[in-house]
Structure 1
């Protein structure tokens, strides 16, 4: 049984996954278009949310202490966001690719979405060079690329397991 059966077989899946991929890429572009100060506010807000959930007594701490803690983990929040959004992009690129070439060899199923994801990550970092308060970083391209690869591998594993389950049913 081929992966095409897991996605259905019609153009509706192709359109759906291509639309979702383009939508996700647009979301990444919008996040990258935020000026540095606005981006810092968002990541600090996320950091405070993490503190409220995982740090006992965080809500009882002074606002300045909460802010300091959020800023302390800001680097990890930002890099985690890079990895996460590109992990989803890797899954969407792979799903989109499989609607065009469901019988492609495993190597091709991995390499083409990965190349597209890396190119998008590099172009995204280049775009940030023109956004006030932002900078393009090679390190972020590497983090983004890692997210793309893990997303591709996760979806590939899920599809493999689903295919094996369908054979046993």
Structure 2
């Protein structure tokens, strides 16, 4: 029961942060900004291969940027573990957990592209997916070392 509550709680927390415009990890005062939908954005405009979704970052490589990427790795790594722990024991459980995590990461970035003051980037989906894969790998190694 606790595993499900934690999973739902983290999904909601990530979604809430994604819905917060002009969010800065280094400024807690920005963590509760009022959301504004970009009514000019469409799924087609967001997923256009020449669009911003598929471009590199346009902002500085500073403390805020580094902390934001660490947050991506950490939150989505933990989310991958929670997804894994909530799946039934079966062959391919690690892969399924990672695929579900990557799907959520993609949807989360698309969601951000609809929020004024946020941007969705495919590179963040990759970073989130790497975080999930890393945490799942480390957990698998930990489990195997406990058996030895």
- With the length of structure 2 as denominator, give the TM-score of the two structures: 0.72
| 1:90–1:150 CA contact under 8 A, matched in 2 | no
Distance 1:93 1:160 in 2: 19
Q: Specify the alignment match of 1:81 in structure 2.
A: 71
Distance 1:127 1:77 in 2: 21
Distance 1:25 1:74 in 2: 23
Larger Rg: 1
1:22 maps onto 2:8 in alignment: yes
- With the length of structure 1 as denominator, give the TM-score of the two structures: 0.63
| 1:89–1:151 CA contact under 8 A, matched in 2 | no
Distance 2:86 2:138 in 1: 15
1:112 Cα deviation from its structure 2 partner: 0.3
1:45 maps onto 2:45 in alignment: no
CA deviation profile, 1:114-165 (whole Å, cap 9, x unmatched): 1100000000001101211001100000000001111111222222233x16
1:82 Cα deviation from its structure 2 partner: 0.7
Which structure shows the higher helix fraction?
Answer: 1
1:18 Cα deviation from its structure 2 partner: 1.9
CA deviation profile, 1:15-53 (whole Å, cap 9, x unmatched): 2212211111111111111112xx12xx2338xxxxxxx
1:34 maps onto 2:16 in alignment: no
Moved over 3 A (4+): none
1:137 maps onto 2:127 in alignment: no
| 1:91–1:154 CA contact under 8 A, matched in 2 | no
Distance 2:83 2:136 in 1: 8
| Structure 1, unpaired ranges of 5+ | 1-14, 47-70
